[in-house]
Amino acid sequence: MKQFKSLADWRACRASLNLPLGFVPTMGALHAGHLSLLQHSTAENAYTVASIYVNPTQFNKPEDLNTYPRTLEQDLALLESAGVDAVLMPTYDQLYPDGFRFQVTETELSKRFCGAHRPGHFTGVLSVVLKLLNLVAPSRAYFGEKDYQQLLLIRGMAAAFHLPVDIIGCTTMRESDGLAMSSRNLRLNPEQRKLAPELYRSISTARDGATAIAALEQAGFTVDYVEDFTEGGMSRRLAAASLGEVRLIDNVPLT
């Protein structure tokens, strides 16, 4: 597995590649959910690239950026074992030579759900993903359905800017008790970890969002939202709730 910390070195490598390329962007602290994305990519493409970059522009709270788990050595070992061909690890100055003066902003969906509670979050996400897609120039890029709002926004951005890439959504991977796999789960203390699966149980079984919110608040969560959302004939129940300082998100399809 080749490791690239220099974008100039990566560009030179990319210019020599003329084959189907899959891309999995990450912020590190990798888990089995990321592994499933990598498995999709290695199965469907001749060459797979991953990136590890904790993107500061998508954190609306500095303390969240400071406490985000960083496990680089383990991450690199997992990527190599998964058959990844190359990993990009750029710096802020390389990705944002403009100091983030130029930004990608979406004006509708990004203002709802997580966007209503995390001002500027999706502007940071869309900006860095557009940069990475331009740098990697993949045939396909893979994102988890756990971040369903993010998936829809990235897919919409790719279409709006005529990017020649397929944005592939992959099924949410869960722990045995139903908790959606997330790097943030590493920050849960034992008591919070025991309670965390209630988020999935509540949104899966409640007859509506208000009922789920009541159940979660009674269990000890601080709830940002539980709402049903339909787009393109597909309906989902989206949720975000916190245990202490750890914010969890999840969603389930509605039939």
The set of catalytic residues is: 34
> Where does 82-226 have alpha helices with state H?
92-95, 114-117, 121-136, 148-160, 190-195, 198-205, 209-219
Rounded CA-CA distance 211/20 in Å is 46
Query: How many angstroms separate the Cα of 39 from the Cα of each of 48, 50, 60, 230?
Result: 10, 12, 31, 29
Round to whole Å and give the CA distance between 44 and 20: 8
Give the tokens for residue 151. 């998936």
Estimate the crossing angle of helix 121-136 against helix 7-15, to 10 degrees: 50
Helix, strand, or coil (residue 247): strand
Looking at the chain, the number of H-run helices and the number of E-run strands are 11, 9
Q: Mention every residue, 6+ apart, whose C-beta is less than 8 A from residue 187.
A: 67, 69, 245, 246
- The residue assigned the tokens 């979660």 is 216
